[in-house]
Amino acid sequence: MAGPEPVVPRPSALLSLTEAHRAVLEIFSLNLSRKRLGRIAPLGDGHPVMVLPGFMGDDGYNAAMRRFLGGLNYTVYGWGLGRNLGPRGGVLEGLQDRIHELHERHDAPISLVGHSLGGIFARELAREFPDKVRQVISLGSPFGRGRMSASVPARLFSALNPPQELPIDQDLLHEAPPVPTTSIYSKGDGIVHWQTTLQQDGHQQSQNIQVRGSHCGMTLNPVIWYLVADRLAVRPDQWRPFERASWRSLFYPAAENG
């Protein structure tokens, strides 16, 4: 039986107030490094990938990342459900239909990349359909315990999605889904506290990877683009953790263990 929900503080006011400014810097660094990224990122095997937007975002928010992954030989899809306002109005049913449709179309499991709330949806899809999901990569997704006290937009989310009406088992969100699972987080996150984006007590194919950057700029961060490409290129039957050897240690600080 789970103990009382821990109270995790929100990110500092400084981090929250500088989110937009830091996201602009990430876009600038992406523009400088985009061509090189295309040369050094590993090519994929063509399997399907779906990218899910964060809270209040839509497919337009991650379109650049999807184009980048498409250029690496993946068949990439958005979630196709408009603006992400939470698990309301048939959203979960729509995602389930989407997974079934893509799995049937490609006759192969789908990799799911989700930003923030989109990563929580991705993890729940993998939990429900582990035979149809190849792996999950979450970007700053607050699935950990204490997430509601640690999130800046928590009040808006609760207003749109009353807790008593949520169709997701809140007590299971922090548990790793039974597929390869990568949790990407930043201690510079100004929207959700980074501790709630860590996978605690994971399994042998789960890993936390730390990056530097904002929350809002995660889908436009070149360091994250490379990391996502690296993880997608690993076959499930040959899974290995991401290594920080050589130049990678400059861009990927040591991560907390899960």
Q: What are phi and psi of 91, to 5 degrees?
A: -65, -45
Residue 3 falls inside a structural domain? no
Residue 23 lies in a domain: yes
* pLDDT > 70 in the chain, percent: 88
The token pair that represents 111 in the structure block: 């990799």
Pseudo-torsion of CA 211, 216, 217, 220, nearest 10°? 110
Number of domains in the chain: 1
Domain that residue 232 falls in: 13-251
The domain that holds 149 is classified in CATH as 3.40.50.1820
Q: Residue 227 carries which side chain, given as an amino acid letter?
A: L
**What is residue 122's predicted lDDT score, i.e. its pLDDT?**
96
Q: What is the pTM of this model?
A: 0.92
Read off the pLDDT of residues 14-51 as tens digits, 9 standing for 90 and up.
998 999 999 999 999 999 999 999 899 999 999 999 99
How far is CA 101 from each of CA 74, 108, 112, 143, 199, rounded to the nearest angstrom? 17, 11, 14, 26, 29
CA distances (Å), origin 34, targets 18, 28, 134, 152, 220: 24, 10, 27, 31, 10
Q: In what order do the strands lie in the sheet with 75-78?
A: 75-78, 48-52, 110-115, 133-139, 181-186, 206-211
Alpha-carbon distance values, 119 to 24, 45, 192 (Å): 22, 23, 13
What pLDDT score was predicted for residue 11? 83
257 in any annotated domain: no
Within a domain: 258: no
In a domain? residue 234 = yes
Question: What is the DSSP secondary structure assignment for residue 172, as one 8-state letter?
Answer: G
Answer yes or no: is 82 within a domain. Answer: yes
Averaged confidence pLDDT in the chain: 89
